[in-house]
Amino acid sequence: MFRRVLWLLLVLLFLAGCARPGTSLDTYWDAPHFQLTDQAAQPFNSSALAGRVWLVDFIYTHCPDICPVYLSPRMAQLQQQILAQNLVGKVDLVSITVDPQRDTPAVLQEYGARYGADPRVWHFLTGPDATLQSLLQTGFKVGSVVKAETEGNLTHSSYFLLVDRQGKVRALYDGTEVDADKMFADLQQLSS
């Protein structure tokens, strides 16, 4: 029941215009505080993002569809725009794994290298499964991860969440539909 209500809330927020071009960005909820581990096997605390605009997505490195087709390529394109516009230190990208058993820091580092991830901009994070599930469900409000009985695939959120310098979620974007230029325009708007 809770998941249905949460899903309906997210759909309504999206349809209400939180990611429509030409509109101001609404304010939704506080982004969660967290302590995870980055792709270099170093502790990564959400306080490292304080005062910065950041975009977060949820991936797993052996994903057969959404992650390599939509999510990670869009993050790579955003990283190029961030670097080109000299927004390093103002804007960050965060990819959080939904499969911590397989996605160790070394695996995340290798995955990031496939997309040319610059660790000054793009952070790949992992942590204990219970911590990640809590972040997804109650912190970021994007539902839980469902493991398929066969093939070991996972069903997870395809949303990007945009967080402002004060740590407030300002937009949700369906990763299978939004283009990187729209997200970059919103990143720029909040970082200026």
Q: Which two tokens stand for residue 68?
A: 């390599």
The CA-atom distances, in angstroms, between 56 and each of 93, 148, 151, 173 are 6, 24, 26, 10
Domain boundaries in the chain? 27-191
Question: pLDDT of the chain along its 192 residues, tens only?
Answer: 444 544 444 444 444 444 444 458 999 999 999 999 999 999 999 999 999 999 999 999 999 889 999 999 999 999 999 999 999 999 999 999 999 999 999 999 999 999 999 999 999 999 999 999 999 999 999 887 766 655 667 788 889 999 999 999 999 999 899 989 999 999 999 999
3-state secondary structure the chain: CHHHHHHHHHHHHHHHHHCCCCCCCCCCCECCCCEEEECCCCEEEHHHHCCCEEEEEEECCCCCCHHHHHHHHHHHHHHHHHHHCCCCCCEEEEEEECCCCCCCHHHHHHHHHHCCCCCCCEEEEECCHHHHHHHHHHHCCCCCCEECCCCCCEECCCEEEEECCCCEEEEEEECCCCCHHHHHHHHHHHHC
Domain covering 27-191, topology? Glutaredoxin (3.40.30)
Is the separation of the CB atoms in 10 and 142 below 8 Å? yes
